[in-house]
Structure 1
Amino acid sequence: MIFGEIIRIALRALTVNKLRSLLTMLGIIIGISTATVLISAGQAVERYIYDLFAGIGTNVLFVVPGQLTENQDPTAEPRFGELTLSDARALSNPLLVPDMVMVAPEADAKATIVRGDEALEVDLIAIAPQHKDIRGWDTQIGEFFSQVDMDSRRRVAILGQTAFQSLYSPNENPLDTQIRVDGVVFNVVGVMNEIGMSQFGNRDNSVFLPFTTAMDRVLDWKTTRGDYKVTQILVSVSSEDRMAQAQIDIEEALRERHRIDYFEEDDFSVISQTDFIGVFGDITAVVTVFLGAISFVSLLVGGIGIMNIMLVSVAERTREIGLRKAIGARRRDILQQFLAEAVFLSVLGGIFGMALGALVMRAADSQITALQLTLQVSTVAGVVAFCMATGILFGFWPAVQASRLSPISALRSE
């Protein structure tokens, strides 16, 4: 039997009872739509995470206080330990870290900024002038901090985009206006370009202060020896190829400074962009596999539904099968016909499922713009191939049953 004839007969058989065919495809539709949304969401999250940490820079190492857990998860709660401004200055010594380009201390805290009658809860980020080059941060309005601001501990502030929009009208110039940060008066000297989310939170809803100013006038984070504490130290490395060696040099320098014995664990951790991406990628993969397993259950139910309805179809069309065999149809022809019907049911269910999934993603994308949910060509191809395999797998036994019918017995059946 030619391929076109097989398709024509299969389509005619499915359209005889449209409602039954639709109900049979329902399990496939639900399973495929769920799988499509989950796969696309997983891909979107991976892209989002990569873009999120790509902004860090490929040649930047983060030194944070405390030793991470045994699995080296950068998102885990660190063990006891602290870093200081003196540590940052030591790491800026090229004799200790030859591959170092520049170093910047950073401190992160919560604060309340007030302008007039408006009060806003924000992240307070104490930074150094080197952040402009290391992180690629710059001002949209005004100027970035200078070394003079750091050395003289000037009370100047740069607002993040969200903080600026919350405290000022659209056409208002914020430069040389005053705000209070936890009760301390600061002059606004700039508004930061949009930064977005980072591994440490929303940088746009922030106020940026010179590191030394923040420490002396707002935070008062000092060790018992009077040194400034830091949340993290950013180290820019000369090239990506030198990252591993730079990490070793940083660890050796800090172990010596912190007087850590050979058999003792570090009280700090050195993390790269790759570490962050790897950990969050692993988490995303686990969640995607788990949710994919749930989708597989729906597809399994849909496949069983196809097998059941095909067995019913074989029983209802016994005389038709007998007649076709009597006029010369071979077992292979009957087998191909029923397999084609099962595959059509599965593939059509998959197409409807992808369409439903695309509608769900479109609705979700309008609400969650950051993820940019899209249906990839690879996903479509994978779904079609999977549906064809499902149709063949669950339609094979009914097709075999139909092909084995004796024409004499089939024609005698009522």
Structure 2
Amino acid sequence: MLFKESFSMAFTALLANKMRSLLTMLGIIIGVGAVIAMVSVGMGVKSDVVNSISSLGSNMLIVSPGSTNRGGVRGAAGSRTNLKYDDAKAIKEKIKNIDFVSPSVSRSYQIVYGNQNWNSSVMGVTPEYMSIRSLEVSTGSFVSESDNNKRNRVAVIGSTVATNLFGTTNPVGQNIRVNNQPFKVIGVLESKGQSSMGQDQDDVVIVPLTTAMERLMAMDYVSSVNIQVSDANKMDQVQEDIEVLLRQRHKIIGGKEDDFNVRNMTSLMETMSQTTTMLTILLGSIAGISLVVGGIGIMNIMMVSVTERTREIGIRKALGATFQNIMMQFLIESVVIGVIGGIIGIGMGCGLSMLVGKFGNFTTVITPLPVLVSFSFSVGIGLFFGIYPARKAAKLDPIEALRYE
């Protein structure tokens, strides 16, 4: 029996029972579609997390006040005052392998322009913040060293603030009021969109650090220090040097607990990436269970097919069909079910993934690997669960098969 003839007979047998064949394929279709959709959602989450952390800046360390291990009642964000502007200056002057250092402070204020108002986060930073965070100015300019030294009342606003306060009017050169104090808008930032946590990164007003500390917020400490390391391979060394320097400056000796915390964003990205990868594998594995169920369905229907066609098998064996011929015939039928089900499942999975991305406010990423793996698995399932029915058919005694009614 030729291989081509076996395929022809397999299609003929499947077409003879269209509804039964479709219901058998349904488990494979749902399984492949679910695997592709779930993995695409997981990959989307991973992409969002990586992009969000990357948007903070490359090779970045963040120094914040307070220890992550400190117990007891936690104070409000920014309530600890042990991290000073001079600490940031010391880090910039004394630590090697650092490109930029930018201390920052932040609070929420009502921003007013004419009869329009908008509540936004106001950040005080130094000019280096633009390079650390990879910010770009679409119109105007960023805060300068001169603005910081002179404590100028100037502001750079995000696109969300610009849209809500100015509409289609160019904000550059206009005056706004922050906490009832006048500030001149000197620039508008390029949009960065939402973070993975849903935070609008464009809803921000940036002013010179000294202006924010002395004229706006009346504070003598900073909320955090953003540091860009020149070489990713030296991140751990730079982090260790910063910790040693700050312990010396804050007079922390012996086994006393640090009153600051240095976060390595590269390590955080790796950890989050590993976590989301495990989540993706988990989602794909759960969806893959339906593929196994679909395989059991294939085995069940092929067993029924062998029983229904017992007399046909007896006739073919009597006419000279060998064990291998009968095996091939039924294996091809089960594999065809897996192949067709897999192809339909790929279409369904990709379509479902795009619908989730469009209407579910999720980022979905479809990559070739899960498509190929799920399709190969569907074909393998058809082959594996078709072996037992095929062997049963091939081992039938032709004389007993011919007697079967």
TM-score by length of 1: 0.88
CA contact (8 A) 1:67 1:78 kept: no
Q: State how far apart, in whole Å, the 1-side matches of 2:362 and 2:23 are.
A: 36
Change (3 A) 1:269 1:123: same
Change (3 A) 1:346 1:81: farther
CA contact (8 A) 2:58 2:228 kept: no
Change (3 A) 1:199 1:298: closer
Q: How many residues are aligned here? A: 398
Match of 1:51? 51
Is the counterpart of residue 192 in structure 1 residue 189 in structure 2? Answer: yes
Counterpart among 299, 312, 325 of residue 320 in structure 1: 312
Match of 1:61? 61
Cα distance, 1:370 vs structure 2: 7.8
Counterpart among 182, 196, 205 of residue 179 in structure 2: 182
Match of 2:340? 348
Cα distance, 1:69 vs structure 2: 6.2
Q: State how far apart, in whole Å, the 2-side matches of 1:384 and 1:81 are.
A: 58
Q: State how far apart, in whole Å, the 2-side matches of 1:5 and 1:111 are.
A: 78
Cα distance, 1:249 vs structure 2: 0.8
CA contact (8 A) 2:127 2:144 kept: yes
Match of 1:2? 2
Match of 1:380? 371
Match of 1:358? 350
Match of 1:142? 140
Cα distance, 1:120 vs structure 2: 1.9
Q: State how far apart, in whole Å, the 1-side matches of 2:278 and 2:175 are.
A: 48
Cα distance, 1:129 vs structure 2: 0.9
Q: What one-letter code is carried by the residue in structure 2 that aligns with 1:53?
A: I
Mean CA deviation greater in 131-140 or 396-405: 131-140
Cα distance, 1:369 vs structure 2: 7.9
Match of 1:119? 117
Is the counterpart of residue 87 in structure 1 residue 87 in structure 2? Answer: yes
Cα distance, 1:266 vs structure 2: 3.0
Percent identity, aligned pairs only? 38
Match of 2:129? 131
Match of 1:73? none
Q: State how far apart, in whole Å, the 2-side matches of 1:182 and 1:9 are.
A: 81
Change (3 A) 1:245 1:256: same
SS for the counterpart of 2:6 is helix
Match of 1:74? none
Match of 2:74? none
Q: State how far apart, in whole Å, the 2-side matches of 1:301 and 1:111 are.
A: 57
Counterpart among 371, 388, 403 of residue 397 in structure 1: 388
Per-residue CA deviation, residues 191-249 of structure 1 (Å, 9 max, x unaligned), is 112223457843211111212222233333x4xxxx3232x211222323332221111
Q: State how far apart, in whole Å, the 1-side matches of 2:128 and 2:137 are.
A: 14
SS for the counterpart of 1:122 is strand
Match of 1:249? 241
Mean CA deviation greater in 174-183 or 156-165: 174-183
Is the counterpart of residue 234 in structure 1 residue 232 in structure 2? Answer: no
Cα distance, 1:88 vs structure 2: 1.0
Q: State how far apart, in whole Å, the 2-side matches of 1:400 and 1:79 are.
A: 74
Counterpart among 189, 201, 204 of residue 202 in structure 2: 204
Mean CA deviation greater in 260-269 or 139-148: 260-269
Per-residue CA deviation, residues 231-270 of structure 1 (Å, 9 max, x unaligned), is x211222323332221111111112222333334433332
The gaps in structure 1 that reach 5 residues or longer are 71-76
Q: State how far apart, in whole Å, the 2-side matches of 1:168 and 1:41 are.
A: 37
Mean CA deviation greater in 194-203 or 314-323: 194-203
Cα distance, 1:386 vs structure 2: 0.8
Cα distance, 1:173 vs structure 2: 1.9
Cα distance, 1:51 vs structure 2: 3.2
Q: What one-letter code is carried by the residue in structure 1 that aligns with 2:51?
A: D
SS for the counterpart of 2:184 is strand
CA contact (8 A) 1:26 1:302 kept: yes
Cα distance, 1:38 vs structure 2: 1.5
Change (3 A) 1:309 1:333: same
Q: What one-letter code is carried by the residue in structure 1 that aligns with 2:285?
A: A
Change (3 A) 1:357 1:8: same
Q: State how far apart, in whole Å, the 1-side matches of 2:132 and 2:274 are.
A: 27
Q: What one-letter code is carried by the residue in structure 2 that aligns with 1:236?
A: Q
Q: State how far apart, in whole Å, the 1-side matches of 2:257 and 2:389 are.
A: 64
Q: State how far apart, in whole Å, the 1-side matches of 2:107 and 2:402 are.
A: 84
Cα distance, 1:336 vs structure 2: 1.7
CA contact (8 A) 1:67 1:81 kept: no
Cα distance, 1:272 vs structure 2: 3.0
Cα distance, 1:374 vs structure 2: 4.6
CA contact (8 A) 2:291 2:378 kept: no
Is the counterpart of residue 287 in structure 1 residue 292 in structure 2? Answer: no
SS for the counterpart of 1:83 is coil
Change (3 A) 1:406 1:60: same
